[in-house]
Amino acid sequence: MSYLLHIDSSSPGAASVSRQVAVSFRDQWQGPVVHRDLAANPVPHLDAAGITARSADPVHHTPEQAQAAAFQDELIEEFLGAGAYLFTVPMYNLSMPSVFKAWLDQIIVTDRTLFFSGASPAAGRPAVLISPRGGGYGPGTPKHGLDFVVPTLEAVLGGGILGLNVTAVIPELTMAPHEAALAPLLPLHKASLAAAHEQARQLATTLGPTRAA
């Protein structure tokens, strides 16, 4: 049965804005969900055993290679078994949390999810990327051009590698309630957050199980 694969990577738990917006999406989603919380249960970073196991004959795998290959198989089968995806990936220091990058490195494997001739088996499936950030990074802001999360993941999750149809939901200025210097931007933050919740709800309805099956 097809399902929504929800990959979480935000550390603060219930206080996380990305998790709160994901709840708005999940509350509207009508269908099965597989949830992997990388903050609570991080996957290991790709190491020599995991890399060499991909090209070595399984008959000759070392115990370390066999273990690494089995874990990659689990993650890849979980990824390919989904009909739709929800990724909650906040901005940490201008980039994605390292636990999410570790998950990507484990599942992107040549001739399984990445094909240099032909499309990925997941190509065209819908994916929602929820990516809050403490400041503003859009056109006209002082930090425009320093968002290395959404553009990177649109390329990796999207047409560049995995071929998913990615829609980004971006709550901005999440530090405004916590930093006095950003207090004047609090109304903008509240508007951005409300819009993100509404966009998430609408996407869950639009991309629901019938579409994602």
Would you state the pLDDT for residue 208?
78
Q: Which domain holds residue 58?
A: 4-212
The whole-number pLDDT of residue 51 equals: 96
Q: Are the CB atoms for 9 and 96 separated by under 8 Å?
A: yes
Q: How far apart are CA 77 and CA 67, in angstroms?
A: 16
Question: Reduced to 3 states, what is the DSSP secondary structure of residue 208?
Answer: coil
pLDDT, the chain, mean? 94
- Domains contained in the chain, number: 1
pLDDT in the model for residue 42: 96
Q: What is the mean pLDDT of residues 15-25?
A: 95
The mean per-residue pLDDT over the stretch 19-35 comes to: 96
Measured CA to CA, the distance from residue 141 to residue 127 in angstroms comes to: 27
pLDDT for position 129: 98
Model pTM? 0.93
The 10s digit of each residue's pLDDT in 151-168 is 999 999 998 899 999 999
pLDDT value for 69:
96
- In order, the DSSP letters of 117-162 are SS--TTTT-EEEEE---SS--STTSTTTT---SHHHHHHHHTTTTT
Q: What is the pLDDT of residue 186?
A: 93
Give 210's pLDDT tier (boundaries 50, 70, 90).
low
Domain CATH for 82:
3.40.50.360
Q: Return d(Cα 178, Cα 150) in angstroms, integer.
A: 24
pLDDT beyond 60 at 47: yes
Percent of the chain with pLDDT over 90: 88
Tens digits of residue pLDDT in 161-194: 999 999 999 999 999 999 999 899 999 999 999 9
More confident call, 13 vs 22: 22
